[in-house]
Amino acid sequence: MSPSLSSRSSAVVTGGAKGLGAEIARRLAARGHHVVIADLDDAAAATLADELGGRAVRLDVADADACLALAEDLPDLGVWVNNAGVLAVGPAWSTEHERRRLLVDVNLHGTMNGTTAALRRFLPAGTGHVLNVVSTAGITPAPHETVYGATKHAALAYSIGTALDLRITGHRGVHVSALCPDGMWTPMLHDLARDPDAWPSWQGGMMQPGDVADVAVRLLDRPRMVRVHPRWRGVLRVGAAFPGAAAHLLPAIVADARRRQRAFADRHPR
């Protein structure tokens, strides 16, 4: 078991008020952690914090100073989960500049800011675990989620590179892991179930956040640099290595994903 999970340390979960973040927070609280729900949704964060006996903090992950201040305020910090994320769908050129900037600020800079803030605590202590929620969009290009995928590719590279930096510098008790889940039924997708541009999220089916949260906590117990869930979706790396071949298969992939999406939307009317 990772040392960061062996005692009642504090655990920060960004974007923790709903969806996957909330499920991870519930599992960390059940293990005895004092959970800090860091989110821009004050009301939802406060409700969940009350449920878990934790603390709600309003946090814009794009604000590096705010992330550092939160970590500084938690001397017993043991886990930091960078879960906050933003999605945009449609062809790459259809995403407006401000939306692109938001995706980069939250998905990439937010991951960097949270990781850096947590490491400021973990390195002197010699223990701690950063878990970066990436996506399968981080291991293969995702057309129609192109800008999102670009930020997730960068977040994955940053996570792996930081983990290797820790090894090179001898910080064996401090871990950085990247969790790359497939499509997940969270508030991020609730309004996109019938949007044909959102088909990439339905390529491999649609998971529930609780299932992914279970994997996240196991990853904290047994650290790995990268964990794709479900494991078989790791085959997407082949498509990334041979984009020309993947392009030939794209029409069939899109048609199947949209079929899955329509069937899911019919089963889950909103």
Which of 10, 65, 14 has the alpha carbon at shortest distance from 38? 14
Cα–Cα distance measured from residue 191 to residue 28, given in angstroms and rounded to the nearest whole number: 28
Catalytic residue among 80, 122, 148, 202: 148
Q: Specify whether 148 is catalytic.
A: yes
Per-residue buried b or exposed e for 145-155, using 16+ beta carbons within 10 Å of the residue's own CB:
bbbbbbbbbbb
Specify the residue for token string 């609280």: 29
181, 229 contact by CB (below 8 A): yes
Cα–Cα distance measured from residue 237 to residue 240, given in angstroms and rounded to the nearest whole number: 5
Name beta bridge partners: 178.
132, 226
Catalytic (active-site) positions: 148
